[in-house]
Structure 1
Amino acid sequence: MYDKEVVPSAALRLRLLQQHLSAAAPPPLPLTCAATKAATNAAAAAVDDSKLCTAEEAAALIPDGAWLTFAGFVGTGCPELLLNAVRERFDACGAPSRLGLIFAASVGNSKGRGADQLSAEGLVDRLIYGWTGTAPGFLKLVRENKVQAWNIPLGIVSHMIRDVAAGRAGPLTKVGLGTFVDPREKGGKLNSRTTRDVVKVVQLGGKELLWYQPPAKIDVALLRGTSADLDGNVSFEREALFCDQLNQAMAAHNSGGLVVVQVERIVERGTLPPRAVHLPGALVDRIVVAPPELHWQSFREPGYDGSLSGEIRTPLHSIAPLPVDERRVIAHRAMLEIDRPNSIVNLGVGMPEGVAVMVATHSHQNKHAASVTLTTEAGAFGGIPGGGMRFGSSHNASCLVPTASQIDFYAGGGVDLAVLGMAEVDASGNVNVSNFPGRMPGCGGFIDISQNAKKLLFVGTFTGGGLKLAVEAGKLAIRQEGRLRKFKTAVQEKTFAGSSGNSRTIMYITERAVFRLTSQQQQQGGGGGGHAVELLEVAPGVDIDKDILPLMDFRPIMRGVRQMPAICFQP
């Protein structure tokens, strides 16, 4: 697939050898000529650095048309030097070209850094991804019909990569049934250029399942760690997440391809304890040393936070409370739904992130919140999940696991409560977060989580676009209504299907009202069937006939509507 005999530049080898020999012991006593020659040969063998190369040399090994996967999650763990080198080579000579990219979640800063370096016409011609919100350049290619593109659940992409490594046919699961990735809807296809089906409906054991078909092989994996020894063993001591890197390396290696790992330092053989090594050197073909400015822990800031890697634990009292506004009201109300001790909770990106802050600052208001274990689909257990560019990682985590393993746990119903965002909700309780006017970030882990969590909360403001609110004297005051309605007759795309409710508790929490998913059959005394949305609570100071019903495209079921808990509107 590529020329593994390409060797590092002489200048790089000399520099790295000088770096490692700078602290050598005092010169030995003079030897005979024969002894000197033998000693020289032994020393050369001991410092064999054939896996070390520059980013430019690594990029030159990537063939046209390859399937490529890269490390990182949202804003964390980007192999930035390697991604930059691929783009620079393409700009200079037009190669590599026509790459296929497969990744669970893009990594970048949403402004051109990171994975967006690969979003050039001709450089890439096909995409399989779960979420690409931090690499919007890919979305431009999708909208302009310049690439083939499939958006499928983040966890399924993670398992597809693992299945390539294992030589399996691809994930077989209920995840995605009834949503836009179901081939009876869109099959995850994003534009007219995308015609091939990668998702099929199958029957197995009397159950209807979806079969997701991965690429036949993955040719290149561009990864990242902290330290590498001269054999290519890589440790992750300063990294905030493992993500899918071990499976990505296995997939490329077992496909006869190329595994390149960006690290911040090289250490001598035997330096890394076996338990600290996450990527074994047997899977690694090339190691590239990155300068600090291209090896940020996350794109939030250039510094290093040891509480994200597990090196230290940060005091939780350093987390500032949320200001009393609509985000705080929603997060507070959601926190009150933690209704059992030792619950395992997943929090989505955006509005749900506030629940983590509320747990850190106001868990005394819910006896079950103090014992909660917060998790992320990226692989963090425990602690307080980070937000923004740090989404997916966690401060003071108790454990970090690979993404594919976390998704296994989620798929089996391990999450007691999930709090996810919502952009659109319709009369049947369907939710859209993946494709709506002005944005098309993808479904991410939303489908994996929402179809399997025991209890599910969708959170977001009641309207969007210019909404201005205030909380005064324990009441909600609407200063300016949002331009965009969120409760619609039909969602543009089904990221959550109300039909997958399966008698679970499913709620929709806004700053002024709380709804739940209910069965129309139950409400109509055995007739009708299907699902509907019921209004449960309204905020103090809110008028149902003025502030809620006129702003919905459908009329919810209403029976004994009560007031939202007053504590949500207090400092």
Structure 2
Amino acid sequence: MAARRLLAAALGSCVPAGRAGPALSQGCFRRSFATSPRPRAKFYTDPVEMVKDISDGATIMVGGFGLCGIPENLIAALLRTGVKDLKVVSSNVGVEDFGLGLLMATKQIRRVVCSYVGENTLCESQYLAGELELELTPQGTLAERIRAGGAGVPAFYTPTGYGTLVQEGGTPIRYAPDGHLAIMSQPREVREFGEEHCLLERAIRADFALIKGWKADREGNVIFRKSARNFNAPMCKAADVTAVEVEEIVEVGTFPPEDIHVPSIYVDRVIKGPKYEKRIERLRFREQQAGEAKVGDKDIRTRIIKRAALEFEDGMFANLGIGIPLLASNFISPNMTVHLHSENGVLGLGPFPPRAEVDADLINAGKETVSVFPGGSFFGSDESFAMIRGGHLHLTMLGAMQVSQYGDLANWMIPGKKSNTPKIMDKCTMPLTGKRCVDRIITEKAVFDVHKKKGLTLVELWKGLTVDDIKKITGCAFAVCPNLRPMQQVTP
């Protein structure tokens, strides 16, 4: 968005408003807009009063990651206003009985733009019944589309999603009641930069952003607590009206200027939330973890985890996907330091906390309660994915449903039954998450290295198995390393 009034001055005579000058360096240029100055943030005591002008059909951004850092009181206020046909931009859709799930239950949402549906069966059922439009966007792309919207950048190119349905189009957005496809995603424009193919993504702006902060001062400056910054921070900047609910309102000067996360220029409305449940989606604590550690090598997940943990190196910055990859952090050697990165805005993840120290504002990407090591840091989701996209991590470990012989990855959860076909294939049959992005495949039976042009090479084999055993269960051909070795495991 351009400045409301643009003034430019230089030495020399000024040119009257409305008359063109020969050059900016030889005069003054003034551009006026038919808008009034932005007022200072307005403070409210009633959440309903704060959102009552959100009209039917409005586009709203709703902050949070899972249930961490969601604007509970503003969501409850929308339930009371009864506004309908909302288009909601959010990282996910909450659960059936909390967060955005409450607005879905009353059918006030028409369309959701998100990166993750999760375990919200209500969202799934409404989507498949043709009652809800669902636009799935890769999480990093969603964060950047929001950041771009707040920065006045109308569109940008990204390699994320190239060669997948994101680029090709055809992803179902809405089904008709009879089950036919009513709306599908459109193909993206593609350009090549160097040797990398990138697709064009458009920025997102909203009419309103509903944000959960920790504290605000009387000027409207906002700070967040721990991992509750997530999508809240970039969303503050990408809406015409930003409404922030906080746990505490303090006087100006209470926190130093250098500690402010979102300056008041981005904030229109502030309220101290009347109450907070701050529900925890996946409660995890250290005592629980100690009991689970007794699981032996007969558990195939444990076998994969213990092998995957050998990929860690001292000083490494690593991102772990949800599921099995997150569990590999339990087997990092105490003799090395690995800085674990979580896309919801945490660097320096530690183990599950003692039960007495569980904190609803500190979760990992799997929505589990965690701790942070000394020297760790918190940041917004847009910055988190800039770390990933910018190549600042040494390792990313993800779970997969299918991997092709050339490193294509499919790990989207899609409706329907799981396939019993091999997980390593000539070509993935499920929708791709990324094209030629996998460098190593670790299973409970073998380890493969991936060459993006030559294909797979078997480098490790589980004890008691033969190469022929692996050929029978692998859906593509592979080479065998001359130095094939037994599959390794971390030692306690």
TM-score, normalised relative to structure 1 = 0.67
Secondary structure at 2:238 match in 1: helix
Cα distance change of structure 1 residues 188 and 484 upon mapping to structure 2, 3 Å threshold: same
1:240 aligns with 2:227: yes
Secondary structure at 2:237 match in 1: helix
Q: Alpha-carbon deviation of 1:280? A: 2.9
Output aligned runs, 1:138-177, within 5 Å: 138-177=123-162
Conservation of the 8 A alpha-carbon contact between 2:70 and 2:99: yes
- For 1:79, the equivalent position in structure 2 comes to 71
- For 1:338, the equivalent position in structure 2 comes to 312
Output aligned runs, 1:346-495, within 5 Å: 346-359=319-332, 362-364=333-335, 370-384=336-350, 387=364, 390-391=367-368, 395-396=372-373, 398-438=376-416, 485-488=422-425, 490-495=428-433
Secondary structure at 1:278 match in 2: coil
- From 187, 190, 208, give the equivalent of 1:201: 190
Cα distance change of structure 1 residues 388 and 285 upon mapping to structure 2, 3 Å threshold: closer
Conservation of the 8 A alpha-carbon contact between 1:512 and 1:538: yes
Conservation of the 8 A alpha-carbon contact between 1:112 and 1:135: no
Secondary structure at 1:421 match in 2: coil
Conservation of the 8 A alpha-carbon contact between 1:241 and 1:380: no
Q: Alpha-carbon deviation of 1:168? A: 1.2
Instruction: Count the aligned residue pairs.
Output: 431
Output aligned runs, 1:495-534, within 5 Å: 495-498=433-436, 500=437, 506-519=439-452, 530-534=453-457
- From 206, 229, 244, give the equivalent of 1:218: 206
1:70 aligns with 2:43: no
- For 2:245, the equivalent position in structure 1 comes to 262
Q: Alpha-carbon deviation of 1:319? A: 11
Q: Name the one with the larger helix percent.
A: 1
Q: Alpha-carbon deviation of 1:350? A: 1.0
Q: Alpha-carbon deviation of 1:562? A: 2.5
- The letter for the 1-side match of 2:138 is P
- From 271, 274, 290, give the equivalent of 1:288: 271
Conservation of the 8 A alpha-carbon contact between 2:93 and 2:116: no
Cα distance change of structure 1 residues 178 and 378 upon mapping to structure 2, 3 Å threshold: same
Conservation of the 8 A alpha-carbon contact between 1:198 and 1:212: no
Conservation of the 8 A alpha-carbon contact between 2:323 and 2:366: no
- The letter for the 1-side match of 2:47 is A
Cα distance change of structure 1 residues 319 and 417 upon mapping to structure 2, 3 Å threshold: farther
- For 1:36, the equivalent position in structure 2 comes to none
- C-alpha distance after superposition, 1:331-354 (max 9, x if no partner): 221121224x42211111111101
- For 1:24, the equivalent position in structure 2 comes to none
Q: Alpha-carbon deviation of 1:64? A: 1.7
Rounded Cα–Cα distance in structure 2 between residues aligned with 1:243 and 1:158: 9
Conservation of the 8 A alpha-carbon contact between 2:282 and 2:369: no
Conservation of the 8 A alpha-carbon contact between 1:67 and 1:219: yes
- The letter for the 1-side match of 2:300 is E
Rounded Cα–Cα distance in structure 2 between residues aligned with 1:198 and 1:53: 46
Rounded Cα–Cα distance in structure 2 between residues aligned with 1:358 and 1:408: 27
Q: Alpha-carbon deviation of 1:563? A: 1.1
Rounded Cα–Cα distance in structure 1 between residues aligned with 2:434 and 2:369: 21
Secondary structure at 1:327 match in 2: helix
Conservation of the 8 A alpha-carbon contact between 2:339 and 2:347: yes
Secondary structure at 2:111 match in 1: strand
Q: Alpha-carbon deviation of 1:544? A: 5.0
Conservation of the 8 A alpha-carbon contact between 1:107 and 1:134: no
1:106 aligns with 2:92: yes
Name the Cα RMSD after superposition.
3.4
Cα distance change of structure 1 residues 558 and 420 upon mapping to structure 2, 3 Å threshold: same
Q: Alpha-carbon deviation of 1:166? A: 1.6
Cα distance change of structure 1 residues 52 and 432 upon mapping to structure 2, 3 Å threshold: same
- C-alpha distance after superposition, 1:516-564 (max 9, x if no partner): 2135xxxxxxxxxx45333322222345545x44433334433444210
Conservation of the 8 A alpha-carbon contact between 2:41 and 2:269: no
Cα distance change of structure 1 residues 388 and 438 upon mapping to structure 2, 3 Å threshold: farther
Rounded Cα–Cα distance in structure 2 between residues aligned with 1:121 and 1:107: 14
Secondary structure at 1:270 match in 2: coil
Rounded Cα–Cα distance in structure 1 between residues aligned with 2:51 and 2:253: 28
Rounded Cα–Cα distance in structure 2 between residues aligned with 1:203 and 1:518: 22
Cα distance change of structure 1 residues 69 and 328 upon mapping to structure 2, 3 Å threshold: same
Q: Alpha-carbon deviation of 1:225? A: 1.4
- From 281, 284, 303, give the equivalent of 1:299: 281
Cα distance change of structure 1 residues 107 and 291 upon mapping to structure 2, 3 Å threshold: farther
Cα distance change of structure 1 residues 438 and 157 upon mapping to structure 2, 3 Å threshold: same
Cα distance change of structure 1 residues 389 and 349 upon mapping to structure 2, 3 Å threshold: closer
Rounded Cα–Cα distance in structure 1 between residues aligned with 2:443 and 2:46: 51
Conservation of the 8 A alpha-carbon contact between 1:240 and 1:393: no
- The letter for the 1-side match of 2:270 is I
1:250 aligns with 2:234: no
Secondary structure at 1:434 match in 2: coil
Q: Alpha-carbon deviation of 1:278? A: 2.0
- From 295, 320, 345, give the equivalent of 1:323: 295
User: Which residues of structure 1 form unaligned runs of 5+?
Assistant: 1-47, 306-313, 365-369, 440-463, 466-482, 520-529
Rounded Cα–Cα distance in structure 2 between residues aligned with 1:392 and 1:402: 18
Rounded Cα–Cα distance in structure 2 between residues aligned with 1:164 and 1:87: 27
Q: Alpha-carbon deviation of 1:221? A: 0.8
Q: Alpha-carbon deviation of 1:375? A: 0.8
Rounded Cα–Cα distance in structure 2 between residues aligned with 1:322 and 1:83: 42
Rounded Cα–Cα distance in structure 2 between residues aligned with 1:437 and 1:147: 15
